[in-house]
Structure 1
Amino acid sequence: MKKNVILKMNTGSGKTVVGLIMLQSCLNEGKGPAIYVVPDNYLVMQVIDEAKRLGIFVTADKDDYNYSNSKAILVTSIQTIVNGHSYFGMRECGNYPIGSIIIDDVHACMDKITDQFMIRINAGTDAYRELIAIFSSSLRDYNPKSYIDVVEMKDCRKNILVPYWEWQRQQDNVYRILKKYNNKDNSEIYFGLPLLERSLDTCDCIITASTIEISPKGIDLYNISSLEDASRRIYMSATLADDSVFISALGLDIGDMKNIITPENANDIGDRLVIFPKHINSEISEVEIKKKVEEIAKKYNVVILVPSFSRAEFWDEQRERTATKDNIDKVVNKLKSGVHLGKVIFVNRYDGIDLPGDACRMLVIDGLPPLNSIKDRYIQSVAPQSTILLREQVQRIEQGMGRGVRFNDDECCVVLMGDELSDVLSRGKGIDYFSAATKCQYDLSKQLWDLLVSETGSKPTIDQIFELANYSLEKNPEWIKTCKESLATVKYSNEARVDERIVAQRKAFEKSINMQWIDAAETIKMVKDKEDDKRTKGYLCQIQAEYTNKTDPVLAQEILTVGKNLSAAILSPIRGIQYKRTINTIPQAQAISTNISARKLGLNELLVYIDGILSNLCMESEYEKFEEALNQVGVSLGFVCSRPDKETGGYGPDNLWAIDSSKYLVIECKTEATTQTIKKDYCNQLSGSVHWFKENYVYPNECIPIIVHPSKFVDIVASPNENMRVMTEKELTFFRKNLRDFYSTLCHNGNINDINKINELLHIYKLRKDDIVNMYTVKFERKS
């Protein structure tokens, strides 16, 4: 057996048993000590229980005599192996040796490793204040608006990426501060700094009102010396479609990727029937889906996976049926023992929970899994079409879908819902990143949807859609036979599938920690030059510029300028960038028709896309998602829109809509506001944006200033622009509804290229250029 081996097995097909037997074989062969690694302590006990059933000797104690003498397998969490003071390689002497190691559920373990390779410093600490102090003057000059929002106003929804040239320039001071607080009282620094030391000068530093997050461009596992020196390293994962994580996080070579062991076919997993109500009929609401799911929960156990506790409240306002870290073991054990609990909600638990048989007959995936870090959210904001984060999220969705089928004869109905999830899987082609087995089950389920649509018309009801679930819930023999036959034809490839952009970023990172800066930059350039998506290409320019800055700061700024012209969301070069005016010369209806045609979407896909946008156009959305949604909404209405604040590095309004050739809407988004009035600072900010407009757009161009805020009342000490209009929750809700109805009617009639019909519908749904202000904003009022 070679040093690095990848073992892929379907979710629920007995990976734990295979892993334990493989490690026992390694011990029998004299390749000990042996370690079985899982993502968390909850799974440690699962593995130990399985080992006891098999009669394999295991221990959870790294100091156990039987482990150190290769008589028992150590079962532990990934954090025990990978941390800044690991007993398995980070001590000056006396590190525990590893002969053979299995890392089970690799993708989940990688999330935990990424967390370990990150320093988060909380606001209110001395370290936070001292780091802010060394960057304050440069950030204030570079991006005054963001500095005011984050540092002065403590706006919890916004963040600042410290420009790479400033981060590199201040390296000595940064290191002094981190070393000063490198003690057990500051656990994030204590466990993180030793892992980041080699790569600190190319880390990303993102500042928020609550945290400073420092994260590297790659994972450097070299320091975990016992892991590096292990004779056998076996990586076990589900049969997911993308293998890039083995390179990006584990640092394996392409050569290692040839050692992939897979099942011959997919007949070792249970049957999953997938229903996707919103994709089948875009008119169906989430409330309708919820009611049907709760009906089914009266008879069967239904597990609902949600990304956050706030979303859990949609299903369980009193939090009586939501599992927490304190009771999750008890809840899972009750489900497994056959107790009928009905509806159970798990928050952000897409892996590690086994719910076979009647423990889970229906599984609901509600919404996109959350991104793990501030950096991930930053990358999504600057390169939303990047496949890297898309693949990670789709893989987590697939892992979640596997919770309800744990053996060959198991059945589970999977319900997919949520506007963003629908948009990602359908319009974003996320389905293509499912594994072969899941894609097979999805396609087989889709045949049922297609049959239903052809029999009932284009818009099946929620009841008709959920009748399909009975094929799974009632264990229909014909359905099960068809599933088995289809899965038996699925053949797995032992060829690795990797994204060359991820490979390039990994190679560049490895060169950078060896201070081969020119080679690192060139590696990024090669993959950047092949990139088609402009925003992703712009982000790659930023990474290339960062490595280039170590040897040629002037060239680095030139590269960044090129990237800024491709993507307004990345860092602005030091000297700024010439602002390009937003100009609208096309009639509104014509622009709508042209934009629809350019998207090349089917009518149902178009509605899913619009719903995906509108899901973020609400007061509780993250500011970045709200501003981008507002930008996309403007475009979908035929206007020419931009985000000057993002494009210029802190100057101009959040959003700018050119609604005709000389009329503009200057918009500031304050959806995060919690006060009962519009604060003085917000009014001043909008007035500043109006002043910016007058400097950049000469007469006869005119603008109407609008603020999106929960309240229409201004603070008593505020001095708002006399023309200021306000879009409150009431107007925003009305606006969302009319936009949705407009597109629904347009698609229903199939008149997407009929200019006269579009104009007629714009009139009916009050979405013409002058309606935007008149119907969806109100005049501000003074609080008496």
Structure 2
Amino acid sequence: MAFKKPTTHTAVPESPDRLFRDLPRRKHASLFDHQGQVLRNYVGQALDAPDVALQLPTGSGKTLVGLLLAEWRRRKFRERVVYLCPTRQLVHQVAEEATAKYGLTVEPFTGRVKHYTPEAKTAYQDGERVAVTTYNSLFNTNPFFDSPDIIIVDDAHAAENYMASQWTLRVSRFEAADDALFKAMAGVLKTVLPAHNHARLTGDWRGIDDVGWVDMIPSHQLTEISAELRATITANVDDTDHRYPWRMLSSHLHACQLYVSSSEIMLRPLIPPTWSHGPFVGAKQRIFMSATLGAGGDLERLTGRPRIKRLPIPEGWDRQGIGRRFFLFPEKSLAEDETLQLRRELMRRAGRSLVLTPSTPDADAVIKDVMEQLKYPVFTAADLEVSKAEFIQTDKAVAVIANRYDGIDFPDDDCRLLFVEGLSRTTNLQERFLINRMGASLLFNERIQTRVLQAIGRCTRGLNDYSAVVITGDELPAYLTDRKRRAFFHPELQAELEFGVDQSTKVQQKDLLDNFSIFLDHDDAWEEANQSILDAREAAMQAKFPAMDQLEGVVAHEIAWQTAMWNEDYAKAYDAAREVLGGLTDAALRGYRALWHYLAGTSAEAAAVAGEVGFDTHARSQYRKAKDAAAGIPWLIGLSRGGVAAEPTPEEVRHGTLLLQVEQLEAHLVKLGTLHNRAFSARESKIREGLSEGKSFEQAQVLLGEHLGFTAGKREDDASPDPWWIIGDIAFVFEDHANAKGETSVIDATKARQAGSHPDWLREHVPASVGAVIRPVLITPAKKAKEGAIPHLGKVAHWDLEDFRRWAEEALVVIRSLRRDFQEPGDLAWRAQAAQALSECRADASGLDTWLGARPARDYLIPVP
């Protein structure tokens, strides 16, 4: 055969923006000015920086910028370049755009390595083509891409769960494949979890506080069970995908946090140890692209890189957004069934629509409704993974995608209607714990905001795009409609939201439908409305989140702490934690500061166990400072039970119980929603009406207990008591006498014995009561008791029925007042306000227990023959 001719090396321009002009198959005549700005800034300021971050708003052509950078470096420096996407669908989407729009030839890699073609592998390895693949293709225990020169991370704001997955063991209670492992781990955890929390973990739920419960096992307890836990996991992961992250974690339990909830167990380090992954850390350069880089060092925490050079956002994009969104918040005016009807009619008028849901069951419910009511074809993420062509060629269709903020784009006429239904702010147990339990929401403000921006921007990908965005659910509508939060958004989004809130308030279903039709027509009638949005945009100012400079200043020390813990250098970790604490002085960061006092304590305690002299004293000091740093965090008080920390004082225990009650009150208010008053007012009404009648009194008492932050319940078994309220180590169990005939009623010996025996029943049947001090309470209008009843009433508290009703009314008023100021879980200032208000109206568990303890029924009832 004839010898092949050697490849000729063509000249490569000095900047990637000039390379675009040399692409003969491109469909775009030129780059947008902002794209050229970013590319030129990169060459001028960050060509040789090991870690670089580029910010381009959603829909501004970020993919083209990344592809040009990748192709330019491949050609100019003969480098192996890997372009990372969160999902397979995005890999195919990027590859299709590269070829169809820009005239670039890239090599997409999805699926198993053994299915990669020899030609594709050679093209990448020889630097002939840019590889486009998923995060998971690089972040695994044996990647094909083991020595890239350049790594481009697209949608870097979405990278955390994907990057951290290599060092994260997530075991679901609901996945059949996880069943054996979950049960085995739950068995080990039984030794360190209180009985009621273990019941929550294993599925014994009693209320909304159980469903939303999340906890973290303190480090000293994790150390105690580490040998048994390691053996248990090792014995149960061989035939599951969990074996891959477990290989990375099994010898590093000392550097991990263990989170538990009513649905999942998660083991992971606080910060992903990407420095230990050769293919990632060995690259010449890592380029992170994001719609929002933000401040506060969040990108560094997500990626485990201590110093990332940020390039400035292109000029002008601080005020102008991408496309136009018309927001609808139907639940501000419509009931649940009306909102569902609205969704169907909007889908009919739009033709094609996209629905984002928080979970697969939620997606299944939407799919079922669409297929039964509209008879439209439905497309899932799996259907759209390789191509969305069939969807956009179907005039009437619905795409339903579960548990995804980022991903599939629908520009131009692909889709003009987006439903964002019930998306949660958090995506894993670590975030939930730090926000809800540690009051560290400030740490995640930028991350949460970016997720929301990604979700609402699925159908506005270019300057001329427009889409209606319908927001429903518990958390997201309240998040977007709150004026205080809106101040931190881009001015364009502030204006769009203000317009949407106004158009969704005090309206009928017909009004929303008419406005949607006007928006879809996009003619003169809409132009007038659009001008009002532009005027509001010019008046809006974007506020900055507080304390971001301090969070950014300490992030390198946080990564140094995690690195030292990973390497078992506990003394060095302690020093790094102290450096973090030295930079966290803003009062708004007291929850996060408390966390780092705790982490400093765990480092010092580990150092003491390893034989370092004097570190046990450091550990005790840091644990004490953790409790003192943020008075609104009950978890830190419970932390002291065991290890080297001092036992909590009685006053600390009392305060911790009160804060637990406030935490559960938060969960209750979130569940009832803050977007409107309908559910909250309905709950209040049901309690008031129930307490006024004998027949419904007991059920209303259960609802009242939940409304005050207690775990409350009632069973209709033989010999079971009337309702019970439990929080922490305090429990009340009631014997209600609401049907009695006023003051002339007499308590007989049978009812007295029942009341006195209720604590024994509760201990035997309700796990949450184990270890609690149980106070039996008799609620009655009676003033007299049979002589034979008196001996049984010595430990039973007496509460006059009318006094109870008056107290309940006062408590309801207090809770409504607190709700007016409530924004989100983890607000330490609101927790302090709530704790004081509950105490003042004697609705706090400890105060109520003290008051009832001084009212034995035998002293308040007159004995009669």
Question: Normalising by the residue count of structure 2, what TM-score does the alignment of the two structures yield?
Answer: 0.62
1:187 corresponds in structure 2 to: 241
Choose which of 91, 95, 103 in structure 2 pairs with 1:55.
103
- Report SS of the residue matched to 1:120: strand
Instruction: Give the deviation of 1:206 after TM superposition.
Output: 2.8
Counterpart position of 1:652: 730
- The equivalent of 1:558 in structure 2 is 624
CA contact (8 A) 2:346 2:513 kept: no
SS in structure 2 at match of 1:372: coil
Deviations 1:597-623 (A, max 9, x none): xx9xxxxx9963756878999xxxxxx
Letter in 2 for 1:387: L
Q: Measured at CA, do residues 463 and 258 of structure 1 come closer, stay the same or move farther in structure 2, by a change above 3 Å?
A: same
Q: Which runs of 5+ in 2 are unaligned?
A: 1-46, 110-115, 372-376, 607-614, 642-646, 659-664, 685-699, 714-724, 735-759, 781-794, 799-808, 822-847, 849-865
Partners of 2:291 and 2:125 lie apart in 1 by 30
Equivalent in the alignment of 1:365 = 420
Shift of 1:118: 0.3
What residue number does 1:345 align with? 400
Aligned to 1:249: 302
The 3 A distance-change label for structure 1 pair 23 and 343 is: closer
Cα displacement string for residues 522-565 of structure 1 (whole angstroms, at most 9, x for unaligned residues)? 24433555334765555454434333432324334434543684
List per-residue Cα deviations over 1:58-116 (Å, max 9, x = no partner).
2235762121111111111010111233344xxxxxxx321222111112233311233
- One-letter amino acid matched to 1:364: F
Shift in Å, 1:23: 1.0
Q: Does the Cα contact within 8 Å between 1:103 and 1:236 map onto a contact in 2?
A: yes
Separation of aligned partners in 2, 1:496 and 1:100: 35
Alignment of 1:159-198 (within 5 A): 161-171=216-226, 174-175=229-230, 183=238, 185-188=239-242, 190-196=243-249
Task: Kindly indicate whether residue 449 of structure 2 is the aligned counterpart of residue 383 of structure 1.
Answer: no
Instruction: Indicate the SS of the match to 2:675.
Output: helix
Aligned length: 636
**For residues 126-165 of structure 1, what are the structure 2 equivalents within 5 Å?**
136-137=190-191, 139=192, 143-150=194-201, 157=211, 161-165=216-220
Structure 2 distance, partners of 1:446, 1:159, is 34
**Residues 376/634 of structure 1: CA separation in 2 closer, same or farther (3 Å cut):** farther
* Residue number among 81, 84, 89 corresponding to 1:42 in the alignment: 89
The answer to whether structure 1 residue 426 and structure 2 residue 481 are counterparts is yes
How far the C-alpha of 1:218 sits from its partner, in A, is 0.4
Contact kept, 8 Å, 2:417 with 2:467, in 1: the verdict is yes
Which residue of 1 is the match for residue 754 of structure 2?
none
Confirm or deny: 8 A CA contact 1:81 1:87 kept in the other structure.
Answer: yes
**Residue from 319, 329, 333 that aligns with 2:389:** 333
Q: Secondary structure at the match of 1:566?
A: coil
Letter in 2 for 1:191: Y
Q: Please tell me whether the aligned partners of residues 418 and 467 of structure 2 are also in contact (alpha carbons under 8 angstroms).
A: yes
2:467 partner SS = strand
Q: Is the 8 A contact 2:62 2:289 kept in 1?
A: yes
Q: What one-letter code is carried by the residue in structure 1 that aligns with 2:634?
A: A
* Aligned pair partner of 1:304 in 355, 364, 367: 355
1:68 aligns to what?
125
Q: State the alpha-carbon separation in 2 of the partners of residues 445 and 25 from structure 1.
A: 40
CA contact (8 A) 1:582 1:642 kept: no
**Corresponding position of 2:605:** 549
Q: Is the 8 A contact 2:732 2:775 kept in 1?
A: no
1:18 — aligned with what?
65
Q: Give the deviation of 1:497 after TM superposition.
A: 9.9
- Report Cα offsets for 1:334-378 as digits up to 9, x if no partner: 3323x2225543322321111122322122222233632233333
Partners of 1:536 and 1:198 in 2: CA distance: 28
Which runs of structure 2 are paired with 1:290-689 in the superposition (5 Å)? 290-300=340-350, 301-312=352-363, 315-318=366-369, 320=371, 323-329=379-385, 332-337=388-393, 339-369=394-424, 371-383=426-438, 386-427=441-482, 429-434=484-489, 436=490, 439-444=491-496, 446-447=498-499, 459-476=506-523, 478=527, 498=548, 500-501=550-551, 504=554, 507-514=557-564, 515=569, 516-526=572-582, 529-532=585-588, 538-550=594-606, 551-552=615-616, 553-562=619-628, 565-570=631-636, 571-574=638-641, 575-578=647-650, 579-580=653-654, 608=675, 610=677, 651-653=729-731, 684-685=765-766, 688=769
Within 2, Cα distance between the matches of 1:102 and 1:134?
A: 41
Give the secondary-structure state (helix, strand or coil) at the position aligned to 1:60: strand
Measure, in 2, the Cα distance between the counterparts of 1:335 and 1:134: 48
Three-state SS of the structure 1 residue aligned to 2:418 is strand
Q: How far apart are residue 740 of structure 1 and its match? A: 14
In the superposition, relative to structure 1, how do residues 21 and 307 fare at CA in structure 2: closer, same or farther (>3 Å)? Answer: same
Q: Report the 3-state secondary structure (helix = DSSP H, G, I; strand = E; otherwise coil) of the residue aligned with 1:236.
A: strand
- Give the letter aligned to residue 59 of structure 1: E
Q: CA deviation at 1:257?
A: 3.5
Shift of 1:403: 0.7
SS class of match (1:359): coil
Residue ranges of structure 1 left out of the alignment (5+ in a row): 89-95, 585-594, 600-604, 618-629, 657-678, 696-701, 706-720, 725-734, 748-768, 770-784
Q: Distance in 2 between matches of 1:547 and 1:505?
A: 17
Preserved CA contact (<8 Å) 1:644 1:655: no
Q: Which residue identity is paired with 1:513?
A: T
Compare CA radii of gyration and give the structure with the larger one.
Answer: 2
DSSP-derived class of the 2:730 partner: coil
Return closer, same or farther for 1:374/1:445 CA change in 2, 3 Å cut-off. Answer: closer
Q: State the alpha-carbon separation in 1 of the partners of residues 463 and 234 from structure 2.
A: 53
Cα–Cα, structure 1 residues 333 and 433, in superposed 2: closer, same or farther, change >3 Å?
A: farther
Match of 2:168 in 1: 118
8 A Cα contact 1:538 1:564, kept in partner: yes
- 1:6 pairs with 2:53: yes
Q: Counterpart amino acid of 2:289?
A: M
* Cα distance, 1:27 vs structure 2: 1.2
Check conservation: 1:307, 1:370, Cα contact below 8 A. Answer: no
Q: CA deviation at 1:228?
A: 1.6
Report the counterpart of residue 672 of structure 1 in structure 2: none
Aligned equivalents of 2:561, 2:338: Cα separation in 1: 53
Asked if structure 2 preserves the Cα contact closer than 8 Å seen for 1:504 and 1:524, the reply is yes
Is the Cα–Cα contact under 8 Å of residues 195 and 220 in structure 1 kept in the other structure? no
Q: CA contact under 8 A between 1:83 and 1:195: conserved in structure 2?
A: no
Indicate if the aligned counterparts of 1:561 and 1:572 stay in contact, CA closer than 8 A. no
Deviation of the 1:39 alpha carbon: 0.7
In structure 2, distance between residues paired with 1:643 and 1:428: 32
Does the C-alpha gap of structure 1 residues 69 and 267 become closer, same or farther in structure 2, counting only changes over 3 Å?
farther
Amino acid of the residue matched to residue 554 of structure 1? Answer: R
Q: Per the alignment, do residues 692 and 511 of structure 1 end up closer, same or farther by CA in structure 2, a change over 3 Å counting? A: same
Of 125, 148, 158, 1:98 maps to 148
C-alpha contact (below 8 Å) 1:537/1:566 kept by paired residues: no
Q: CA deviation at 1:651?
A: 2.5
SS in 2 for 1:357: coil
Q: Note the aligned Cα RMSD (angstroms).
A: 5.1
Quote how far apart the aligned CAs of 1:211 are. 4.9
Identity %: 16
Task: Tell me which residue corresponds to 1:694.
Answer: 775
Which residue, out of 265, 272, 275, partners 2:324? 272
Q: How much does 1:233 deviate? A: 1.9
Counterpart for residue 257 of structure 2 = 204
CA contact (8 A) 2:54 2:310 kept: no
SS in 2 for 1:36: strand
Inter-partner Cα distance in structure 2 for 1:65 and 1:40: 23
In structure 2, what is the Cα distance between the partners aligned to 1:249 and 1:443? 30
Partners in 2 of 1:197 and 1:499 — Cα distance?
Answer: 36
Aligned mate of 2:283, from 230, 244, 266: 230
2-side partners of 1:326 and 1:406: how far apart?
A: 22
